[in-house]
Structure formats: C-alpha cells, structure tokens
C-alpha cells in the first residue's frame, strides 16, 4: 500500500484507471485502494478523479477494509499451509461435525 501511495502522491489527481494502469493491477485492487484511502480521509473526490487532501502520516491498518482483507489473508494462508486433518479437526471443533 505504501508503494501505491507514493506513486499516486506524485500525480496532481488520479482516477481508478490511473491506479490500474500505473500499477498494472486489477480493478478490484484499485477499488480497494480507493476505499481504504477514503476511510482514512486521505483523499477527496475531484472533478475527474481524486486528490490527496492529507499530508499527515497515517497508519493504513486503521482502515476497516484493510483489517478485513488482512484477516481474510490470514485465513487463506492458514488453509493453504494446513493439512486436511488440521482443517477437519478445526471444522469439527467449530461446528460439532
């Protein structure tokens, strides 16, 4: 996220499509970046996109969207690195299967 912020900060204004083309990323990522920056009040809507309104250093982890994505990533990582037996044991404990 910091790399995205630094690149976008150099632009006078930017749009979702600038994020996609500059960073070579998907629309979902661009929408998520905009949502996180909006939640943290770092950007404001401009005529043809967005501009940064805050020069203050901000902790991106304070964003609800960022926290939700981080939790989902932890779950995916756990599933990826767990054995079938570990997953089965977890589900049995949670759901009484």
Q: What is the CATH number of domain 2-95?
A: 1.10.10
Question: Residue 3: how many CB atoms within 10 A of its CB?
Answer: 8
Nearest to 78 by CA among 63, 91, 96: 91
Q: For the chain, which residues make up each domain, given as ranges?
A: 2-95
Residue corresponding to tokens 């940064």? 52
Of 30, 29, 1, nearest to 17 by C-alpha is 30
Dump pLDDT digits (tens) for 44-94: 998 889 998 867 788 889 999 999 999 999 999 999 999 999 988 888 887
| 53 vs 56: CA distance, rounded Å | 9
Task: Indicate if the pLDDT at residue 23 is higher than 90.
Answer: no
């Amino acid at each position: 996220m910091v790399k995205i912020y630094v690149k976008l900060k150099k632009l006078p204004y930017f749009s979702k499509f600038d994020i996609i083309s500059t960073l070579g990323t998907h629309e979902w990522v661009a929408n998520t970046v905009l949502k996180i920056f909006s939640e943290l009040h770092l950007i404001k809507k401009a005529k043809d996109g967005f501009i940064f309104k805050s020069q203050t250093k901000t902790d991106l982890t304070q964003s609800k969207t960022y926290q939700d994505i981080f939790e989902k990533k932890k779950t995916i990582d756990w599933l990826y690195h767990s054995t079938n037996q570990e997953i089965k044991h977890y589900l049995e404990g949670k759901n009484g299967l």
